[in-house]
Amino acid sequence: MSTCQRSAAERVFQIIELASLICSHLRRQESAILLRVCSSLFLAARSFVWKKLLNVTPLIPLIPERHRNDGTKAKLLNRDDIPRLYLYSPFIEVLELGDLHYYPRSDRKFWRILPRILRPAEALSGLRFLRWFSTDPIRERHEIDLEVPTSHVAQEGENASAHPKDVASAYTEACIPERLEQFRNLGSLSINQAVLEPRVLRTLSELPHLRKLTIYPNREADMVLYPDYVLSGDCFLALQSLALEHVDPYIINDLCTLTPLLRNLTSASIWFEAEDRSAFWDQPSFKVNVLRELTGRARQLTHLDISMGSDDEEAWWSQSALNMLRSLPLRRLMIHIATPDDYENAFSDLLDAIPDIEELQIAQAGLSSRSLRQAAIKVPKLRYLQVYAIDFDDLDTRPTSKDFSKPTIQPQTPLLIECDDLFSSRNSPENLARLVKRYFG
């Protein structure tokens, strides 16, 4: 079949697979020469091969899975994928870069060519989602910095054998803000706390379309200690979702006092680290203070996901904490926390604080049948309930029992109930079905 008779998609794969095949037979310096030639050829061919393509598949599914040394699978950007990346760059919506230190140290030319290939992707694409991740040693931070200054990259003859691990550390702090500024269309970003320095946060705050920010920890490194974060008034204008996944308490404490970061949020997720890594965890009121700062500044929160330690149940179930929830227009609440001794009354107080809730998930908590009935009465808009277990010991399962008389509660919406653990005692799925029919119609 001639090229002119092929579909646009077939023409795309014909070109990139040919280039990848050629690259796979070349090594080191030869691949760099080929990529220079491919750059000019691909630039002219882009409009032709993409002219009739719609709903283009993002880059990551096109990169084949590879087996790591530990036997796990991962989609790693290989040298053979560079031509594909360059050709697809204007149309990439999802880009995931990571585990770069798995590449052999001998492939130094690959490291020096990669930033050049990425530049058109940053400048020309409609990139909406970016994830930078890395494994050990994250504390060295060179995996995050995929580009050293242009002046340094341009020196082809100087330090030609240098590996980024040897040269990038001196440029990392200066380069990350510069690179972030190039992603003007970025809508979602996941970033390691090791690189979230004050200047980096300020750069993020200026991205006009950033709607979701996820910060995750570097578990193997020491605790991050940065100066206090400071933000101007007009920043994070589009940010609606913030997730802090087990990050260090110093960062949580600082970020939850930044009104410009929190004021437009509709969704927040805070998972406190379970380990005692700092004196912050020795302060009983620390996590409640974080919740107070968050709810006081993010007044539009409709989704809240919060996880505390096993020793924090009294603080969470206190009236002070429940009053904070009462002040928010919550529609979805996820709680990962141990239950107090008087859980029946605590659960009732929680329902009083969230009368308009639609989705409720309570991990590590079991409900009695009476508590389930309270949920039906107090939160009529509830359409999804997830609990750890349901206890039917207080339920009379006889067919003539008043517990199974004609339904009197009419739900406003269909209700889905999920139970993570086995039913206790004489409980059974049949009892749950009869109970739900009785209480919810």
For position 144, what pLDDT does the model report?
32
For position 228, what pLDDT does the model report?
76
Residues in contact with 231: Cβ distance below 8 Å, sequence separation at least 6, in sequence order: 201, 202, 205, 258, 260, 261
Residues in contact with 19: Cβ distance below 8 Å, sequence separation at least 6, in sequence order: 34, 38, 42, 83, 84, 87
Rounded to an integer, the average pLDDT of 377-403 is: 66
Q: Encode pLDDT of 322-358 as tens digits.
A: 889 999 999 999 988 766 777 778 888 888 999 999 9
Band the pLDDT of 236: cuts 50, 70, 90: very high
Q: Encode pLDDT of 400-416 as tens digits.
A: 444 444 444 444 455 67
Band the pLDDT of 240: cuts 50, 70, 90: very high
CA angle in degrees (0–180, nearest 5) for 97-43-116: 40
% residues pLDDT > 90 (the chain): 11
For position 407, what pLDDT does the model report?
40
What are 168's two structure tokens? 């990038």
For position 166, what pLDDT does the model report?
29
Whether the pLDDT of residue 264 is over 70: the answer is yes
With beta carbons less than 8 A apart as the criterion, state whether 97 and 131 touch.
yes
For position 150, what pLDDT does the model report?
30
Band the pLDDT of 280: cuts 50, 70, 90: low
Mean pLDDT over the full length of the chain: 63
For position 56, what pLDDT does the model report?
45
Rounded to an integer, the average pLDDT of 282-291 is: 73
Q: Encode pLDDT of 71-87 as tens digits.
A: 555 555 555 555 555 55
d(CA 55, CA 44): 22
Band the pLDDT of 384: cuts 50, 70, 90: confident
For position 30, what pLDDT does the model report?
52
Q: Encode pLDDT of 93-150 as tens digits.
A: 555 544 444 444 434 444 444 445 455 544 445 555 554 443 333 223 333 332 222 3
What are 100's two structure tokens? 């770069």
d(CA 197, CA 199): 6
Q: Encode pLDDT of 16-56 as tens digits.
A: 555 555 555 554 445 555 555 655 655 555 555 544 444 44
For position 261, what pLDDT does the model report?
93
For position 332, what pLDDT does the model report?
94
Q: How far apart are the first and last CA of the chain?
A: 63
With beta carbons less than 8 A apart as the criterion, state whether 301 and 268 touch.
yes
DSSP 3-state of 367? strand
Residues in contact with 283: Cβ distance below 8 Å, sequence separation at least 6, in sequence order: none
CA-wise closest residue to 359 among 344, 389, 379, 374: 379
Q: What is the DSSP string of 96-123?
A: EE--GGGS-TT-HHHHHHHHHHHHHHHH
Whether the pLDDT of residue 306 is over 50: the answer is yes
Other Cβ atoms less than 10 A from the Cβ of 81: the count is: 20
Tell me how far CA of residue 274 lies from CA of 231, 291, 310, in angstroms.
29, 17, 8
For position 92, what pLDDT does the model report?
54
